[in-house]
Homo-oligomer: A and B are copies of this chain.
Amino acid sequence: MTDVVTPGVGVPAPGGVSRSELPGGLRVLTEAVPGVRSVSLGIWIGVGSRDETPTQAGAAHYLEHLLFKGTTTRTASSIAEDFDAVGGDLNAFTAKEHTCYYAQVLDTDLPLAVRVLADVVTDALLTPADVELERGVVLEEIAMRDDDPEDLLGELFDEVIFGEHPLGRPVIGSEESIRGMRRDVLHDFWRGEYTTPRMVVAAAGNLVHAEVVELVGSALAAASARAGSASPSTPRRGEGFVLAPAPGLVLRPDDTEQAHLMLGVPGVSRHDPRRTALSVLNTALGGGPSSRLFQEVRERRGLAYSVYSQHIGYADAGVLSVYAGCAPDRLDEVTKVVRSVLAEVAADGLTPAEIARAQGNLRGGLVLGLEDTPSRMNRLGRSELDHGRQRTIAESLDRISAVTAEEVDEVARELLSAPLTVAVVGPYDDEEDLPGTVRDP
């Protein structure tokens, strides 16, 4: 860890973003944000639960926990103490296609954040004792998820719509896969996947690009040396997978007060040209208080407190879904209303006012959503891993404005006429116990 990698030359990208590529394929993206005293820093790895084999199910997330348990030079408690002492936030998340270790600290604590995050990600010990201890913590996280009906519903829904595809598996794994996970599986996953060509370091806040590059180059020198002269990994995803509609119903009987309902259809990948039109559609459908679903389900009928739609785009597939939580004896009515909203939009599209409003909503939300340094850092890291490039805010705003009514109506017609996948968590004994509107494909 003492070799110093010569920092690459920062190439200023549009919008105040600088990018450097270091030996070993490590990419460093920074954005100087005026008027703040913090820096948000993330080490992103282009690996997630979809990259696991069935026996590795939950390994990416389990590993994320374990890496904080200590390195060759730091104990778990010294890591926690170092960050708590400066009021910094240190955490990580694992998703289906990404893992991110991040920190938010005062600008003066940036060197500490870089060193600790780099150590955690590349120099952890993974002792057998810690693997055992942390198994208990992950099992508790699974149990906590099971006690949250909305979270559980989302997992069930993905299992049905993705079937056997790895995108259908919960990020967190299953009780069985975690109980059976061996240390060497976790260790091999780590060494195989956490290579510098798959890593992006993103930072936003009160910073100087060259200084970040210098710090990162030094802290990740050993990892970069291991990667040799490898070039950024070629995408491992998106090769021929087509998500077909999976009409079907799954019920998890649960003694809940509400019936929790999710209905959905395949969406589009994050590289699909229709993705921005679909964002507009999703916003108008269930993205805010003026959306069709919110107005019809909550405002006009008082049937639910929480009702919304969402679209998640992956490298090669996407899912558009609707959630509502309602009284069990009103599930029939809620399902009818949601189905009829989807059918109407599929048949007749949206009004020009709805489309204009959704575009305004996305534009305003984009600008408002980028005022804190963690959001800026997330945008940098995600964009580099997902697209290999940075889009300026102006470009993103223009893309939203350029969407036409025809494009929105076409994507609505195409996606929303597919048969629905339905998942329910609620107080029903079996599927026969559910109202007919829920059971119909």
- Contact code string A351-383 (vs B, CB < 8 Å = 1, else 0): 001001110111111111001110000000000
CB within 8 Å for A326 and B140 given contacts A87-B363, A149-B147, A368-B87: yes
Copies of the polypeptide in the assembly: 2
Those of A258-312 within 8 Å (CB) of chain B:
258, 260, 287-291, 294-295, 298-306
> Which residues from B are CB-within-8-Å of A85?
290, 356-357, 360-361
Complex Cα spacing A363 to B105, Å: 12
A164 close to B (CB within 8 Å): no
- Interface members, chain A 92-123 (any B CB < 8 Å): 104-106, 109
Quick check: B140 and A290 within 8 Å, CB to CB? no
Q: Provide the bound-state CA to CA distance between A76 and B302, in Å.
A: 13
Contact call A368/B35, Cβ cutoff below 8 A: no
Given contact pairs A140-B325, A146-B257, A302-B133, A87 touches B360 in the complex (Cβ within 8 A):
yes
Residues in B with CB closer than 8 Å to A144 are 257-258, 305-306, 325
A86 CB-CB contact with B under 8 Å:
yes
- Pair B298/A137 contact, Cβ less than 8 Å: yes
Check if A105 sits within 8 Å of B364, measured CB to CB. yes
| Residue in B34, B90, B255, B366 whose beta carbon sits within 8 Å of that of A87 in the complex | B366
Residue A256 CB within 8 A of the other chain: yes
Note all chain B residues with C-beta closer than 8 A to A294: 80
A302 → chain B closest CB, angstroms: 3
Residues of B within 8 A of A35 (CB): 33-36
Q: Does A327 contact B (CB under 8 A)?
A: yes
Q: In the complex, which residue of chain B has the Cβ closest to the Cβ of A360?
A: B85
What's the nearest-Cβ distance from chain B to residue A147, in Å?
5
A169 at the interface (CB under 8 A from B): no
- What are 8 of the A-B contact pairs (CB < 8 Å)? A34-B35, A76-B299, A83-B289, A83-B290, A106-B367, A133-B300, A137-B298, A148-B148
A: which residues have CB within 8 A of B? 33-38, 76-77, 80-81, 83-90, 104-106, 109, 132-141, 143-144, 146-149, 254-258, 260, 287-291, 294-295, 298-306, 325-327, 353, 356-358, 360-368, 371-373
Q: A87-B362, A147-B257 are in contact. List 19 more A-B contacts (CB 8 A).
A: A34-B35, A35-B36, A80-B288, A80-B295, A80-B299, A84-B288, A84-B289, A84-B291, A85-B290, A86-B360, A90-B289, A106-B368, A136-B302, A137-B298, A137-B304, A138-B305, A147-B325, A371-B372, A372-B372
